[in-house]
């Protein structure tokens, strides 16, 4: 069987190198003059499939050890040592200069002969471009962030994006990356302008203005258990909303009891039935931060105390209620950081799911 060589690969790799190193670098595919006409309109394509010949591979093993020590069959790997010596890689086309294609993602070394080039739809490739390499590592390296795609398997929910301190462009790229692998994703501390840009690439995303959260819930989980969120005052609602959005998207039934602070404790005592029905209780309070101790004294279930920065000068931005909660004389109280509704809900989710089968 004879092959027609249509091009050669040009890059800095003269010898085989780790796959991820080669694919990060740009390569040139130099088309022979007699085949240049076949490139017409190829620059309109975003991705290409490059079919090439491993001309320096003279042997193969059907089952071989990989770099991590695990064994894998040749047909389930990207090993260059193959029975027919044929390789195929999907690459991103960066530019075309006459008969030269500049690409990224090619795992072929310098002077590798190219046998064919085919367009590949970006819609089809979105989820599987670099997928093998990402799946083995468990994360996707965006350069400015490493997206932990494996977290959903370990923790039951994907990595949550903290937008604070990130540029809008970074948040958009991270959300796009998460959406490739996960149906339900969440971002906290997001401004409205950031959401507007995210919505352009994730149309099903919605925004909770009070919580400053971006929620993309493509396949809602079955809701189980019962998490009750109690707030001392209406001013604590941003933290309450952050906790509720987090708990709901993670597959929990959530109820709320608002404005039930110790300045009018009868508002709490008239709703003891709600406390008793809950499996775990999040109590959000600023000012003096006394409410979690009162709640914990009434129930035999975990109470997650969540201090807020609401209050006047001596509140010290939430330090005062934080210290009150840490020094609670009531038993069964755990404390999260100031204004951390997300952290409170994540912990409540873990407690609420104990003994529950989600069935999602």
Report the CATH number that the domain containing residue 346 is assigned in CATH.
3.40.50.1970
pTM, rounded to two decimals: 0.62
pLDDT score of 198: 93
**DSSP class of residue 55?**
T
Question: Does residue 101 fall inside a structural domain?
Answer: yes
CA distances from 179 to 9, 212, 216, 300 (A): 33, 19, 9, 40
Q: What is the pLDDT of residues 218-264, one digit of tens each?
A: 989 999 999 999 999 999 999 999 999 999 999 999 999 999 999 99
Flag whether 360 is in a domain.
no
Of the candidates 314, 324, 356, 155, the one whose C-alpha atom is nearest the C-alpha of residue 232 is 324
- Select from 113, 107, 106 the least CA-distant residue to 92: 106
Do 257 and 309 sit in the same domain of this protein?
yes
What is the reported pLDDT for 185? 94
Whether the CB-CB separation of 246 and 343 falls below 8 Å is answered with: no
Tell which phi-psi region holds residue 316, choosing left (phi > 0), alpha (psi between -120 and 50) or beta: left
What parts of the chain have a pLDDT lower than 70?
1, 66-69, 121-136, 357-360
Question: What's the pLDDT at 225?
Answer: 93
- Structural domain including 213 reads 138-220
CATH number at 25 reads 2.40.30.70
Give the model's pLDDT for residue 230: 96
Give yes or no: residues 255 and 338 share one domain: yes
Chain segment 125-179, per-residue pLDDT in tens: 455 554 545 555 788 888 888 888 889 888 889 999 999 999 999 999 999 999 9
Residue 31: count of CB within 10 angstroms of its CB: 21
Exposure string of 315-353, with b = 16+ CB inside 10 Å and e = fewer, is beebebbbebbeebebebbbbbebbbbbbbbbbbbebbb
Question: What's the pLDDT at 359?
Answer: 46
pLDDT at 67: 61
Radius of gyration of the chain (CA): 28
């Amino acid at each position: 069987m004879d092959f027609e060589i249509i091009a050669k690969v040009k890059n800095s790799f003269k010898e085989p190198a780790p796959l991820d190193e080669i694919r990060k670098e740009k390569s040139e595919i130099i088309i022979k003059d007699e085949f240049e006409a076949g490139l017409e309109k190829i620059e309109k394509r975003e991705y290409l499939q490059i079919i090439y010949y491993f001309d320096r591979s003279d042997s193969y093993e059907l089952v071989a050890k990989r770099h991590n020590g695990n064994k894998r069959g040749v047909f389930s790997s990207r090993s260059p040592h193959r029975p027919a010596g044929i390789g195929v890689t999907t690459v991103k086309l960066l530019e075309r200069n006459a008969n030269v294609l500049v690409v990224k993602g090619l795992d072929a070394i310098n002077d590798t002969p190219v046998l064919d080039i085919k367009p590949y739809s970006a819609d089809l490739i979105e989820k599987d471009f670099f997928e093998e390499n990402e799946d083995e590592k468990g994360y996707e390296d965006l350069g400015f962030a490493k997206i932990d795609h494996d977290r959903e398997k370990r923790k039951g929910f994907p990595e949550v994006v903290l937008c604070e301190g990130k540029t809008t462009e970074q948040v958009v790229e991270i959300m796009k990356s998460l959406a490739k692998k996960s149906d339900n994703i969440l971002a906290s501390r997001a401004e409205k302008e950031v959401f507007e840009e995210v919505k352009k690439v994730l149309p099903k995303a919605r925004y909770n203005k009070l919580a400053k959260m971006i929620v993309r819930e493509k396949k809602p989980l079955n809701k189980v258990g019962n998490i009750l969120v109690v707030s001392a005052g209406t001013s604590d609602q941003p933290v309450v909303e952050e906790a509720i959005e987090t708990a709901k998207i993670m597959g929990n039934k959530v109820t709320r009891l608002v404005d039930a602070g110790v300045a009018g404790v009868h508002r709490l005592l008239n709703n003891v039935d709600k406390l008793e029905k809950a499996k775990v209780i999040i109590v959000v309070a600023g000012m003096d931060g006394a409410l979690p101790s009162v709640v914990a004294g009434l129930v035999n279930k975990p109470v997650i105390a969540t201090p807020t920065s609401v209050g006047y000068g001596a509140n010290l931005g939430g330090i005062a209620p934080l210290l009150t909660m840490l020094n609670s004389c009531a038993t069964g109280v755990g404390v999260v950081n100031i204004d951390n509704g997300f952290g409170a809900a994540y912990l409540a989710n873990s407690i609420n799911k104990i003994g529950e089968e989600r069935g999602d």
